[in-house]
Amino acid sequence: MRRAITLAAVPMVCALTPACTSPAPVGDGPLRYPATGNTRTFELRVQDVRWEVGPGAVYDAWTYNGAIPGPTLEATAGDRIVVTLINESDHAASVHTHLVEFAQAQDGADPASIAEPGETVTYEWFAPYAGTVPYHDHADEGEGVARGLTGALVIHAPDEVPANEHVVVLSDLEPRNFLQLPGVADPVTGMLGPGEYRGPHQYLHIMNGHAYEDAIPPFSGRVGDLSRWRVVSIGIQAHTFHIHGHRWVDADGTLTDNIQLAPGTYRTFEFEEDREGDWLVHCHFPEHMEGGMMTRYRVTP
Ligand SMILES: [Cu+2]
Q: Give 143 Cα–ligand 1 centroid separation in angstroms.
A: 19
User: How many angstroms does the Cα of residue 265 sit away from the middle of ligand 1?
Assistant: 13
Strands 294-300 and 219-222: parallel
Residue 51, SS3 per DSSP: strand
For residue 37, how far is its CA from the centre of ligand 1 (angstroms)?
40
284 CA distance to ligand 1 centroid (A)? Answer: 6
Which CATH number describes the domain made up of 7-161?
A: 2.60.40.420
Give the span between the Cα atoms of 25 and 221, in whole angstroms.
38
Which pLDDT score is estimated for 186? 61
Three-state secondary-structure class, residue 159? coil
Residues β-bridged to residue 249:
255
What's the 81 CA to ligand 1 centre distance in angstroms?
Answer: 31
Closest CA to 285 of 268, 267, 263, 260: 260
Distance 289 CA to ligand 1 centre (A): 7
> How far, in Å, from the CA of 114 to the mean position of ligand 1?
30
Question: Could you tell me the distance, in angstroms and rounded to a whole number, from the CA of residue 202 to the centre of ligand 1?
Answer: 12
Which residues of the chain fall below pLDDT 50? Answer: 1-25
Q: How many angstroms separate the alpha carbon of residue 205 from the centre of ligand 1?
A: 7
Residues paired with 296 in a beta bridge: 280
Question: Structural domain boundaries of the chain?
Answer: 7-161, 169-300
Measured in angstroms, how far is the CA atom of residue 45 from the centroid of ligand 1? 29
pLDDT (tens digit per residue) in 251-265 = 889 999 999 999 999
- Determine the Cα–Cα distance for residues 30 and 10; give it in Å rounded to an integer: 9
* C-alpha 293 to ligand 1 mean position (Å): 7
Would 7-161 and 169-300 be classified into the same CATH topology? yes
CA of 283 to the centre of ligand 1 (A): 5
C-beta separation of 89 from 174 below 8 A:
no
C-alpha span between 260 and 166 (Å, rounded): 17
CA–centroid distance, residue 132 to ligand 1 (Å): 19
pLDDT at 285 (0 to 100): 95
Distance from the CA of 160 to the center of ligand 1, in angstroms? 30
Residue 215: its pLDDT value, please?
A: 95
CA of residue 153 to ligand 1 center, whole Å: 21
- The CA 133 to ligand 1 mean position distance, Å, reads 18
Distance of CA 14 from the midpoint of ligand 1 (Å)? 31
Taking the centre of ligand 1 as the mean of its atom positions, its distance from the CA of residue 212, in whole angstroms, is 13
Element (H, E) at 49: strand 39-54
Q: Which CATH architecture has domain 169-300?
A: Sandwich (2.60)
CA 150 to ligand 1 center in whole angstroms? 17
Cα–chain center distance at 200: 26
Count of C-beta atoms within a 10 Å radius of residue 23: 9
From residue 69, give the alpha-carbon distance in Å to each of 150, 151, 164: 5, 5, 20
